[in-house]
Amino acid sequence: MTKRAALPALRICLLLLLSSGVAAAQTATSASPSTGWQPWIVVGGSSTTLLGDCTDCPADTYVHDGGVLAIVGTPLTPRTDIGGQLFWVPSSSAAGEPINTTYVMGTFQFRPWGSSGFFVRLSSGMAFVRNWVVDTDTSTSFTSKAFALEIGGGWEWRTPSHFGMQISGSQHVAALGDLQTSERTAQNVVGNFWSVGGGIVIR
């Protein structure tokens, strides 16, 4: 084949490559998901075990109660989600005094393997504790603010629809600091909450 005959053939090949590239780009653009807000919602409950501790305090008693979990957020990538978490634990001390704890935190959830339902969840924020009892005087009630952390993990099952399910285990920690009692100051008061539960996931 001469050079004069090869040039038209080369031009035809270039045109075919360009046209196929433009068609592929148009197909990818039309197949891309909507850029609007996509929900990530988790609503569920848990069985929660609570243990309080502080410096120089006697060994406390484990308390077993239930908790309610709600998360509202949005996916960042196919494997990561970010949102806000509300975790409420209505409980009582061994003596029967009510203790209500509400966690309000920012939550980050990550799935290391995209084809697997396993996830790891990390959260940080505030805990509001009503009537944390370090005193036998039940006539005095108060609400304490605490720095809060959560670490947890679990498994999520997805369905062709927007609904799914998950099971998870986690530990929430509330650092209340120093609390004044009628007899002394309880130093470095910490509440530990271990939970196992499940919930409904909407995506």
Domain count, the chain: 2
Same domain, 126 and 153: yes
**Ramachandran angles phi, psi of 31, nearest 5°:** -90, -10
Kindly state the helix (H) or strand (E) to which residue 7 belongs, with its residue range. helix 3-31
CB 193 within 8 A of CB 50: yes
Q: Which tens digit of pLDDT belongs to each residue from 127-154? A: 998 876 554 444 555 678 899 999 999 9
What CATH number corresponds to the domain at position 50?
2.40.160.20
Same domain, 108 and 54: yes
Distances (CA, A) of 8 to 5, 12, 19, 21, 79: 6, 6, 16, 20, 48
Same domain, 65 and 146: yes
Same domain, 11 and 68: no
Average pLDDT, the chain: 80
Mean pLDDT of 115-137: 81
Same domain, 7 and 87: no
Same domain, 88 and 18: no
Same domain, 88 and 179: yes
Same domain, 48 and 126: yes
pLDDT for the residue 63:
86
Chain position carrying tokens 């197949």: 31
Same domain, 51 and 140: yes
Mean pLDDT of 109-124: 94
Q: Is the pLDDT of residue 170 over 70?
A: yes
Distances (CA, A) of 201 to 66, 104, 163: 19, 19, 6
pLDDT for the residue 8:
52
11: containing domain = 1-32
Mean pLDDT of 78-84: 96
Distances (CA, A) of 103 to 59, 84, 85, 130, 194: 24, 10, 7, 12, 13
Give the best-scoring range by mean pLDDT among 16-25, 63-72, 135-144. 63-72
Same domain, 62 and 157: yes
Same domain, 101 and 138: yes
Same domain, 18 and 51: no
pTM of the shown model: 0.74
